[in-house]
Amino acid sequence: MLKNKTAIVTGSTSGIGLGIARSLGAAGANLMLNGFGDAAQIEALRAGLAKEFGVKVGFSGADISKPEQIRAMVEQATKELGSVDILVNNAGIQHTAPVDEFPEDRWDAVISINLSSNFHAIKAVLPQMKARNWGRIVNIASVHGLVASKEKAAYVAAKHGVIGLTKTVALEMARTGITCNAICPGWVLTPLVQKQIDARAEREGIPVDQAKSELLAEKQPSGEFATPEQMGALCVFLCSDAAAQIRGAALPVDGAWLAQ
């Protein structure tokens, strides 16, 4: 379905981003991976995806807290893979603390990586999408872009911002073939979430499995994690012709979190 299209997926060396990259590759899209990690492992991942799906796969180690590196990543993808037709802004970090104890440098980092990077990447890809009159921008926001939780001031503020940015881009592109939408995951078992589970288990002196169950019970009525593969399938749908009139949406995948 996405043959001859090229997708940049930020933060795609693990977790949700990797799930999305795999789904896009399976649909025929060429891929520009991005993220941090061991160089040999990343190269094995890159080569493995290319072989498995029969698509071109590149890698950019761009630090998405730096606008100039984001622009360079877009230029690299365009040069190596021919175009950037799909942009998935997925990379994110987390820090938890009460507002009055929240370290200012962590606030700045979360806002930069979780929100500002989306703006810089969108700005960098839009000119070529407009020239072709086709593009798909998918921002991975969060349920925390729609509701708040304690001790996550920066993350909640950033993800609310991502949804506002999504709506604005959708309106500006409403008369074009370019769509912009946000996916809002609830709890997805990724390395980022596993760290929160481990920290909770250590803090409360309980087994990790118990910490996991309690985390889900607090927010996600289904009692089950969503999966990176489910995020990938939704992303592929948003890139399809069937989703051409889904614009500016914030789509929760949250096990009924927001239904409460």
Structure confidence by residue, pLDDT tens digits, 22-61: 999 999 999 999 999 999 999 999 999 999 999 999 999 9
Q: Is residue 120 located within the same domain as residue 244? A: yes
pTM of the complete model: 0.95
Instruction: Based on the fold, state whether residues 86 and 212 are members of the same structural domain.
Output: no
Write down the catalytic residue from 59, 107, 155, 257.
155
Active site residue 143: no
Instruction: Locate the DSSP E strands across the chain.
Output: 6-9, 30-34, 57-60, 86-89, 135-140, 178-185, 250-253
Nearest to 84 by CA among 179, 166, 5: 5
Same domain, 198 and 101: no
Statement to judge: residues 170 and 234 lie in one domain: yes
pLDDT digits (tens, 9 = 90+) for 104-147: 999 999 999 999 999 999 999 999 999 999 999 999 999 999 99
Q: Are residues 210 and 200 in the same domain?
A: yes
